[in-house]
């Protein structure tokens, strides 16, 4: 029950301060007052409902309360933003007209999430809200797992509940719970895998390890390191742990040839920048504090998250440095280090999104620290925690991250005429705008230009039906041509200006500078 989390409540305070009986306002009217001041109906209603809601919330079991609290920031505004490129890519992968298997092979991820989303779209349709719903559900379940993990680490119920509440409002976890890509499901799978390892439930560990490995490639790293840490925690069950490892490799073996094919396909065109110490550290903040932080908030947010985490490591040293906490370390530090080593030695694959489970461990650290502190130290640490999370949440909900594609593309949809055609400067724009332009109903081609983005494989182009335009625009069999231009975010300002100068000579221009890409639309009449 949650009522034991916050400690014992004062019976005097319950009687005198909560107003639960609804008649305290009348009793407090001064005797002999000529004009007694009665509270307004709305104020009186709030005075009655708030204490009752508080008592109701505290009467709920902690897991139920955490699920309800976690659901609010994840389900609200779930469909308010348009799909960004990776989501649009996933949307196309999951379309009935797409060659699903070829698209999955052409991607850089295992097949499980693509299959889940394909089933989801068939069942609930393709709105932004329903498309992101599986991620939101996985994100809510992850908050419950944070609570259960803290208990499995032998922390108190109070510490576990605090950890769950912190995780519920971590912007990094909220963001990926509202993103239709596989990272929230990866988070849930890894947390379940970790819980199974801590509890010695090898069936749960194996099932979750397979799910994580087939969701995202880093899932195999997480599952492997958790398995190795189990050898030290469960010494008497090393035989069973060895069998779980063998079973995991056998079940993952069919995907290994395809994984090698994917690695070769993206070896020359993968967009990930080389790893450095800055990007290594930044991944921890991006997965916890989030990426939507205005420049003038970055210093206090980064200092707050980093400082509280370092203090938590010191305060929580008693349980952190026990043998039982080794699986925790395997997720928190081991997996980021392993991925970093692979990126340095083999290939640049260090993507912060894949390290979401590591960032989630911060919630357990903070929850454990708060539960251990007392007196002034407790007040200071708790106040700083609330301030840092509140500042991060404020930044998350007030920072613009995406342009309104519906508004941007409205002129093209409204002015489209029979006999018109579209060609794109890159496949990225064609994929990103497919849903909003309903390209399957229009005649379009890809016409790659210097400086454009073409970071997709041949398998993906074939699966999506993207054909490259070879002839010049004035030789196209269209009465009018819509040209959607897009440059790489790394293109120079001079190059961008040159494209705009050409564009302004066309009969119609709608140009904008996006967060991810610089784009413009031209209506050209041959």
Confidence of residue 490 (pLDDT cuts 50, 70, 90): low
pLDDT of residue 5 exceeding 50, the answer is no
More confident residue, 186 or 43: 186
The DSSP element (H or E) to which 513 belongs, if any, is strand 508-513
Alpha helices in 287-345 (DSSP H): 295-315, 317-320, 326-329, 335-345
Which residue's entry shows tokens 């944070």?
146
The predicted structure's pLDDT at residue 17: 43
pLDDT of residue 371 exceeding 50, the answer is yes
Q: Which of 180, 216, 182 is nearest to 87 (CA)?
A: 180
- List, in sequence order, every residue forming a beta bridge with 522; answer none if it has no partner: 483, 509
Distances in Å between the Cα of 241 and the Cα atoms of 223, 247, 300, 409 are 12, 10, 44, 55
Return the domain boundaries, the chain: 2-59, 62-398, 405-524
Confidence of residue 275 (pLDDT cuts 50, 70, 90): confident
CB 280 within 8 A of CB 336: yes
More confident residue, 462 or 67: 67
Q: Which of 411, 452, 444 is nearest to 428 (CA)?
A: 452
CA 336 – CA 358 distance, rounded (Å): 7
CA 287 – CA 306 distance, rounded (Å): 13
The predicted structure's pLDDT at residue 525: 63
pLDDT of residue 131 exceeding 80, the answer is yes
The fraction of the chain above a pLDDT of 70, given in percent, is: 75
CA 381 – CA 109 distance, rounded (Å): 40
The predicted structure's pLDDT at residue 42: 57
The predicted structure's pLDDT at residue 61: 87
CA 510 – CA 3 distance, rounded (Å): 58
CB half-sphere exposure, 206, CA atoms < 13 A: 15
Mean pLDDT throughout 499-512? 64
């Amino acid at each position: 029950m949650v009522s034991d989390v916050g400690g014992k409540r004062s019976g005097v305070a319950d009687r005198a301060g909560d107003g639960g009986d609804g008649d305290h306002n009348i009793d407090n009217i001064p005797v002999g007052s000529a004009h007694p001041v009665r509270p307004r109906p709305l104020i009186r209603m709030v005075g009655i409902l708030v204490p009752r809601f508080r008592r109701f919330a505290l009467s709920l079991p902690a897991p139920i309360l955490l699920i309800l609290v976690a659901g609010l920031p994840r389900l609200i505004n779930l469909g308010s933003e348009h799909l960004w490129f990776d989501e649009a890519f996933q949307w196309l992968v999951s379309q009935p007209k797409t060659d699903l298997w070829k698209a999955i092979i052409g991607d850089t991820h295992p097949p499980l999430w693509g299959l889940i989303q394909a089933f989801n779209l068939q069942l609930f349709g393709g709105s932004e809200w329903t498309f992101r719903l599986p991620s939101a559900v996985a994100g809510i379940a992850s908050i419950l797992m944070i609570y259960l993990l803290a208990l499995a680490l032998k922390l108190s119920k109070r510490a576990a509940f605090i950890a769950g509440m912190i995780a519920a409002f971590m912007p990094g976890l909220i963001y990926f719970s509202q993103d239709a890509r596989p990272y929230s499901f990866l988070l849930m799978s890894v947390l379940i895998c970790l819980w199974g390892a801590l509890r010695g439930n090898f069936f749960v560990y194996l099932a979750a390890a397979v799910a994580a490995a087939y969701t995202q490639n880093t899932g195999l790293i997480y599952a492997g390191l958790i398995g190795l840490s189990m050898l030290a925690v469960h010494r008497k069950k090393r035989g069973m742990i060895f069998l779980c490892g063998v079973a995991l490799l056998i079940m993952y073996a069919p995907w290994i040839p395809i994984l090698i094919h994917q690695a070769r396909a993206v070896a020359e065109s993968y967009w990930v920048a080389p790893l450095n110490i800055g990007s290594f550290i930044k991944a921890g903040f991006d997965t916890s504090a989030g990426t939507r932080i205005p420049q003038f908030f970055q210093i206090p947010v980064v200092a707050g998250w980093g400082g509280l985490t370092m203090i938590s490591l010191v305060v929580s040293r008693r349980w952190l440095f026990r043998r039982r906490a080794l699986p925790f370390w395997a997720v928190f530090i081991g997996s980021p280090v392993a991925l970093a080593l692979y990126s340095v030695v083999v290939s640049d694959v260090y993507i912060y999104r894949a390290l979401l489970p590591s960032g989630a461990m911060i919630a357990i650290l903070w929850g454990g620290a708060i539960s251990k502190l007392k007196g002034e130290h407790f007040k200071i640490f708790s106040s700083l925690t609330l301030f840092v999370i509140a500042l991060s949440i404020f930044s998350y909900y007030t920072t613009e991250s995406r342009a309104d594609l519906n508004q941007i593309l409205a002129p093209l949809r409204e002015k489209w005429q029979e006999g018109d055609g579209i060609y794109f400067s890159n496949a990225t724009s064609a994929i990103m705008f497919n849903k909003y332009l309903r390209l399957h109903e229009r005649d379009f081609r890809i016409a790659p230009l210097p400086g454009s983005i073409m970071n997709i494989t041949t398998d993906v182009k074939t699966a999506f039906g993207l054909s490259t335009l070879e002839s010049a625009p004035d030789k196209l069999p269209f009465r009018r041509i819509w040209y959607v231009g897009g440059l790489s975010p790394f293109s120079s300002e001079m190059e961008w200006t040159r494209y705009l100068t050409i564009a302004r000579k066309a009969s119609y221009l709608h140009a904008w500078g996006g967060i991810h890409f610089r784009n413009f639309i031209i209506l050209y009449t041959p």
